[in-house]
Amino acid sequence: MIPRTVNELFAVWPQLAPGLGQREPATIAHTAMMARPFRRSFGRRLLSSLETGEVARWASRYRGAARYAKTILNDAVVIGALERSPFEGVRVRRPAGRGEYVPSWEEAMALAEAGREAGLGDMVLLACCSGARLGALMKLRAPDLDDRLAAGRILLKRKGRPGRYEGVVLEPARAIEYPRGLVFRTPKRGRPWTRQSVSKRWSVARAAVGLPEACTFHATRKAFAGIVP
């Protein structure tokens, strides 16, 4: 049965989710739990009646839940319950952690350019667009890219767990040939990056954009939940 209302979608999504992507049970449960504010707000509504404007207003209020609701509604498109997601074109800011400065989309793109000039290559761009942590980017290898980068996908190492997860790159890095092995290395000697060496160049890039010290490299992963392709 194809769900017609938001309540019906949320009821069947946990069973459908494993077949819609490589999602672990814990991830599915967490997504459903975090998206509950959307169900409380729109539960009885027909999926086809949801409009981008009202969803955008809701997302501005429930920033912490918005990206999880986006995931479920995107899946509704895949299963044919929606022709297009009401989140399409809606930019969703992720909430900042305590003391973090989360850059806006424009600031994130300026940081990406400043990062290239500081010698970090496309590392900052991928962090802002995919939500990847620095540790995952430092360990990113050429085989994890394959032909996925052109399609807006990369495979990233999980934190503290085996395997890799698929990161979405909204504005893919320039089409360049990456060397075999690690994708990102120091520009002069070609050595693997360390957190300390990244931090030095990140400070230069951040200063060039004029952002505060609270805008750490780690904060770039929260720049945006993303834009539905």
pLDDT in the model for residue 103: 85
Check whether residue 66 and residue 117 sit in a common domain: no
DSSP the chain: ----BHHHHHHHHHHHGGGGSS--HHHHHHHHHHTHHHHHHHTTSBGGG--HHHHHHHHHH-HHHHHHHHHHHHHHHHTTS-SS-TTTT---PPPPPTT--PPPHHHHHHHHHHHHHTT-TTHHHHHHHH---HHHHHT-BGGGTTTTTTTTEEEEE-SSSSSEEEEE-SSPPPS-PPPSSBS-B-TTT-PBP-HHHHHHHHHHHHHHHT--TT--GGGGGGS-S----
49-106 pLDDT, tens digit each: 999 889 988 988 887 788 889 999 999 999 999 999 998 877 665 555 567 788 887 8
132-173 pLDDT, tens digit each: 788 888 888 877 776 656 556 677 777 666 667 666 565 544
For residue 229, pLDDT beyond 50: no
Range of the domain at 201: 105-222
Q: What is the CATH number of the domain that holds 144?
A: 1.10.443.10
Q: Answer whether residue 169 is part of any domain.
A: yes
Q: Which residue has the higher pLDDT, 218 or 91?
A: 218
For residue 196, pLDDT beyond 70: yes
Check whether residue 208 and residue 112 sit in a common domain: yes
Q: Report the percentage of the chain scoring pLDDT > 90.
A: 32
Last residue of a domain, one of 78, 93, 113: 78
Q: Answer whether residue 22 is part of any domain.
A: yes
For residue 175, pLDDT beyond 90: no
Q: Answer whether residue 195 is part of any domain.
A: yes
Q: Answer whether residue 87 is part of any domain.
A: no
What's the number of domains the chain is made of?
Answer: 2
Q: Answer whether residue 97 is part of any domain.
A: no
Check whether residue 123 and residue 199 sit in a common domain: yes
Check whether residue 47 and residue 114 sit in a common domain: no
